Structure 1
Amino acid sequence: MAFIAGIQVIHAPASALNNAGMQPGSATENAVVVKALRINGRSYPYVSAQAYRYWLRRTLEQLQPEGWTVAPIFREKKVAYTDANPVEYADDDVFGYMRAPGKSVEAADSRAAFVDATETKETVTRVSPFRVGTLVAMSDGLVQDFGTMSRHEGDPVPHEHQFYRTSLKGMFSIDLGRIGVFTYENRTGFLNLDEVRRQLAETRGLAHDEANRAYRLPDEVRLQRIRALLSAMPVVDGGAKQALHYTDVNPVVVVMAVVRGGNNPFYYTIDGDRQGLARPVLEAFQEIGEVWGDQILSPLYIGWVEGYASEGRQELEQNLETLQQAYPHGVVLGHPRRVFARLAEELERHPEWLA
């Protein structure tokens, strides 16, 4: 079992990327608050995993990289769902789904306007092979900003909202052995295919693994879907309040590698300073190489944008030779987008990681 395990940091210089809604009892009666954790009396802003996944899915829709297909969305009264068809749609494969029996006739978006929903004989569910953690601020502090709507006759209408300056850190993981592999085991999360979808898998010529009750896409198609995901993560676009607090949400720091099993040892390699900027913890990098070296299958990839917390990147460059010795497959240091591309290239050379 091989996983891409990593952490990423996005920088929010003056931002409100994920809001919790209106604040009751505010002075203006028109106040928007950001999502935040309350720890020891201090507020730490965060971006929910749901929000980040939405950004990433929309980015993939817009980019349409090779091998990526977007699942149509359907609606029945108060229930909305994707087609839940991972054979046809990379979107359903990578991000998972749950769909109960039934057939929708109402499209919830223009993509589905001329697409019939795949008939569903029994409830199908799929655990997402792509996992992402909440992006949590590395420093506390919220600013309350006041404004008015005054482009009309009469008294201006006051309003207020929160924003912050910090960097936010979170984990991610990609289960390489699950992308493009669809089981029909009758338990929650593993009944990916019902009778209708199994017939489709047979028609499309997917390899049938009877022993593990699974169907498998060709490795080339599976790699395309993984490469598409890796190409979108360093250019992800999204976030709330962009008209007022335009923010680039691309990762400014990423640390990742291919590892055995689903553990993610890299969370403590990056910490925050007093200004909420990322800094490398060299002792943690060194210890992970020594302790987890037998579980790390690829080079360690470190992406760090030049100009962001420059002392951190300089510290890594000055100690790169020492780090190289600590990791059995070496260390790659560069811009986040380049290291994502290097990792995608490495996958091509190791089809055994998809097993």
Structure 2
Amino acid sequence: MAYLAGKIVLAVSAGAPNNGRGENTTTTPVKKARIRGQWYPYVSAQAFRRWLRETMVDMGMVASPTERVGKAQGKAQKANTAADPIRYADDDLFGYMKAAAKSADEATTLRDTPFMVGTFLSVEPARPTEDFGVMSRGIEEPVLHGHEFYTADLAAPFLLDIPRVGTFTLPTERGGRPNYLSPEAALQVAQAMSVGAEQVSFRGGSAVRLPLEARRDRVAMLLDGLAELTGGAKKALHYGDRTPALVAALPMAGGVNPLTFAIDGAADGSGLTVSGRVLGEELKAWQDQWEAPVRLGWRPGFHERIRKEFEHDLAGLIDEGQIVIDHPRSMLRGLAEEIRTGRHDAWFDDPAR
């Protein structure tokens, strides 16, 4: 297996975790999409990845330093990280692009992300409510302001390309690949070699790969971060728990996600569905492409009726250990520990064809 495919559900209760852009108004909107004439609040993938990165920093990860470059105003503004995936786990896991100025000798270098995540879209229509506020403390003329909040379950898929963690391809004569160290990064290559990296052939190209222990630790760190996730806007007024209410994951040989329609919003807009029938059919269709067990983390009290139906529909697979249900924190931390101790080292290489 080479990929960890999954789905995450966040439960937002009277919250405003991701603000949108207000236009000529004193009311701060939440991000929302209009679909088939109705409003669906969402949290962007960028916001979620920021929450995860900051959670990992709180847990001890040293983050890649950022720098704003370019003009103070206008279209030439840029912000770069150090673009050093050898030293910084977040540059490795989340990717980067460091674009050079046209007149500079330095080349543009980039890495697309091994950790892919979708938009956390509400599973049902939910029109945000506008909350009205007044700042009048110690001033004669009160200042009026407002903001939106909502209650909804938000769901998004994710995919972790495990062999690419700690693996950095080098450009070829045909040009650079989307996961490379530039020719000007000889210092990075030398630094990687100094900490035990080796040069390998990877997906048709030449690559530098960090030692397996470091790669294990980075994947485990990501899973630990998901288990302890915190973040979001408006915490002073709308504090909310941002750890997953439901998370499912299974190792796959390819980049397919069998959980896409198993955990989703109902077609009639009535809310979250977790379909044992759909998951069972998907697992059967991809039976030679996944490795048991399918791991589900399901918080107690979250859609208990749906959980009972799910467990009833897949009782056979649960009894056989093909599907395991636990608390999200226990599931994610347990899987992280299994990876950290080497139980899933085969996942760090592409399966033989």
Question: Could you tell me the TM-score, scaled by structure 1's length?
Answer: 0.86
Residue from 152, 155, 158 that aligns with 1:172: 158
Per the TM alignment, residue 260 of structure 1 is displaced from its structure 2 partner at its CA by 1.1
The equivalent residue for 1:254 is 247
Equivalent positions of 1:116-155 (< 5 A) are 121-140=106-125, 141-155=127-141
Residue 276 of structure 1 and its aligned partner are, at CA, apart by: 6.6
Deviation readout 1:41-84 (Å, 9 max, x if unpaired): 111000000000111111111111xxx44212233344321111
Query: Once structures 1 and 2 are overlaid, which stretch shifts more, 316-325 or 173-182?
Result: 316-325
Code of the aligned partner of 1:152 = G
**Relative to structure 2, which stretch is displaced further, 212-221 or 120-129?**
120-129
- Residue equivalent to 2:46: 50
CA distance in 2, matches of 1:147, 1:75: 34
Distance 2:333 2:139 in 1: 55
Does residue 35 of the first structure (1) align with residue 34 of the second (2)? Answer: no
CA distance in 1, matches of 2:337, 2:227: 15
Counterpart residue identity of residue 74, structure 1: E
Q: List 4+ stretches of structure 1 deviating above 6 A.
A: 273-276
Which residue type is aligned with residue 245 of structure 2? V
Deviations 1:65-114 (A, max 9, x none): xxx44212233344321111111111111111111458xxxxxxxxxxxx
The Cα of 1:266 is off from its aligned counterpart by 0.3
Q: Equivalent of 1:159, from 145, 148, 153?
A: 145
> Is contact 1:137-1:276 (8 Å) kept?
no
1:354 corresponding residue in structure 2: 348
Letter of the 2:192 counterpart:
A
Identity of aligned residues (%): 37
Q: Contact 1:5/1:256 (CA < 8 Å) preserved in 2?
A: yes
Distance 1:147 1:121, change over 3 A: closer
C-alpha distance in structure 2 between counterparts of 1:85 and 1:236, whole Å: 24
With 121-130 and 185-194 compared, the bigger mean Cα shift is at: 185-194
TM-score when normalising by structure 2: 0.87
- Give the secondary-structure state (helix, strand or coil) at the position aligned to 1:306: coil
- Residue 139 of structure 1: how far off its partner (Å): 1.8
Determine the C-alpha separation between the residues in 1 that align with 2:93 and 2:323. Answer: 27
User: Cα distance, 1:268 vs. partner?
Assistant: 1.2
Choose 182-191 or 2-11, whichever is displaced more. 182-191
Cα deviation, 1:231-288, whole Å, max 9, x if unaligned, reads: 0102111111111111111100011101011111202112346897533212111111
Give the length in aligned residue pairs. 330
Measured against aligned partners, the alpha-carbon deviations of 1:198-234 in whole angstroms (never above 9, x if no partner) come to 2222333311115731111111110001000000102
Greater displacement, 253-262 / 72-81 = 72-81
Structure 2 unaligned runs (5+)?
71-76
Q: How does 1:89-128 map to 2 (within 5 A)?
A: 89-101=88-100, 121-128=106-113
Report the residue type matching 1:87 in the other structure.
Answer: I
Aligned equivalent of 2:328: 336
Residue 289 of structure 2 aligns with which residue? 295
Alignment of 1:315-326 (within 5 A): 315-324=309-318
- Corresponding position of 1:61: 57
Query: Which stretch shows the higher mean deviation, 290-299 or 311-320?
Result: 311-320
**1:303-327: CA deviation from partner (whole Å, max 9, x where unpaired):** 11001112122223334422337x8
Where structure 1 has 5 or more consecutive residues not aligned to the other structure, the ranges are 103-119
> Counterpart of 2:148 in 1: which secondary structure?
strand
